[in-house]
Amino acid sequence: MTYLLPALMQNSETPTPSDNQAPLDAVNDVAQSTSEAAASLLGWFTSGDHKALIAVLAIATTLAILIAVRQSLIGILASAAERDDFSMGAITRRLLKRTRTHFLLIAAVYLIDRTIGLPEAAGTGVTVLFVLAAVIQGAEIVQEVTVSLIKRSVVRKSGDRAALASAVNILKWLASVLIWSVALLLILDNLGANVTSLLAGLGIGGIAIGLAAQGIFQDLFSALSIIFDRPFQRGDTVSYGDTWGEIEDIGLKSTRIRSVTGEQIVISNTNLLDLEIRNLARMPKRRVDTGFGIVYDTDPDLAESVIGLVASIVAETEGVELERCNFIGFGASSLDYELVFFSLDPDFKRTKTATSKLLLKLFRRFDEEGIEFAFPTQTLHVASMPDELALNQYANGAAQRFAPNMTV
């Protein structure tokens, strides 16, 4: 890893940090030298030296210019942020707002040190502070760019904010961990700490953690798969197996579903993706299959007119569309018809309401037309016998009943 501090301090006679120090020792040494440099710089500013006064004025002027440029650019880009919160102009505006004033102050002091020149001890401390502030500010900028691009991609691909709510928390956490880990290593490396052994230890620890938390990482990557592949998102109604309900939340490890019966179902992301999932929210319209039967005493011509009658009833009913109506066979006690139609609103409750209206209209119209609905019935036909034959059968039966009791 290339040092930044030695490159910035190449014209200085102050020794550069050693790369053999432990991290805590390196931090303590830099903190001590920075405190000494700050004291030296403050004493120089208050000494009344002509050059010190010029340096103070130059630092104040440079800082004022940097702040003015930042605020001007933020104002110019405000209109872009209002039109589209995820445009490049809006992202740039957020980056400018996250540019810290203390970083601009340290940058102004560093620029004056490079041009006018500060005392040697103070210059070393300013260089160290500038590198640290630049790494931290750079990490914030990279984090903001990463999160903003994630938001931009998710919103523009999915077209809604529900997917954004599920994605940002997961990816922002991952990006923050990665970015600030790299920033910390850069800081320690430039302070002269021996990060090689630290990286080796982190590598071994990472392998151990990965093996121990294998299930958690599987669920985490499953969550990312759900977010980017988008088989469903928060607010969708899904069904799998014998369960169906509304997606309430997609978390790092599990997904929470509110069942239609009211209870909350929690299932791991990995197990959920292993199932066959039906996303009911993405139906353009909901299909309804039903049927009915009319009595066998119905006149054939009237039975034939049932199909057209049903079609007209469906056409008169708002929110439904006929797929087909057919006579399908002779049932045990009815002439059977099938009715298939679509509810133009796929919402389950609205579909049930539309179905109820349609069936009630069908019931009223059939009553007006004199068409009777069939219900399960059985007809018993009893055939009559000639009197002489019935008398003979009765006599034979009586003889058989008394025969066992007779003795000769």
Residue-wise pLDDT tens digits, 236-276: 889 988 888 999 888 777 889 999 888 999 998 888 888 88
Amino acid found at 398: A
Between CA 183 and CA 257 the distance in angstroms is 38
CATH topology of domain 230-281: SH3 type barrels. (2.30.30)
Residue 360 vs residue 204, higher pLDDT: 360
The H-or-E segment that residue 322 falls in is strand 320-330
Residue 84 vs residue 375, higher pLDDT: 375
- Give all strands of the β-sheet with 320-330 in edge-to-edge order: 286-294, 335-343, 320-330
**Upper half-sphere CA count for residue 159 (Cβ side, 13 Å):** 0
Buried b (16+ CB within 10 A) or exposed e, 62-77: bbeebeeeeeebbeeb
Q: For tokens 């980017």, what's the residue? A: 228
pTM across the whole model: 0.50
First to last CA, the chain: 127
Distances (CA, A) of 243 to 93, 118, 275, 288: 46, 72, 11, 20
- Work out the mean pLDDT of the chain and round it to a whole number: 78
The H-or-E segment that residue 288 falls in is strand 286-294
| Residue 292: pLDDT over 60 | yes
Of residues 109, 104, 138, 140, the one with CA closest to residue 34: 109
Of residues 132, 139, 126, the one with CA closest to residue 4: 132
| Residue 366: pLDDT over 60 | yes
| Residue 235: pLDDT over 80 | yes
Domain 283-369 has CATH 3.20.20.60: no
Lowest model confidence (mean pLDDT) among 2-11, 223-232, 264-273: 2-11
Q: Are 9 and 16 in contact (CB under 8 A)?
A: yes
Q: Where do the structural domains in the chain lie, given as residue ranges?
A: 5-212, 230-281, 283-369
Amino acid found at 233: Q
Q: The tokens of 29 are what?
A: 């040494």
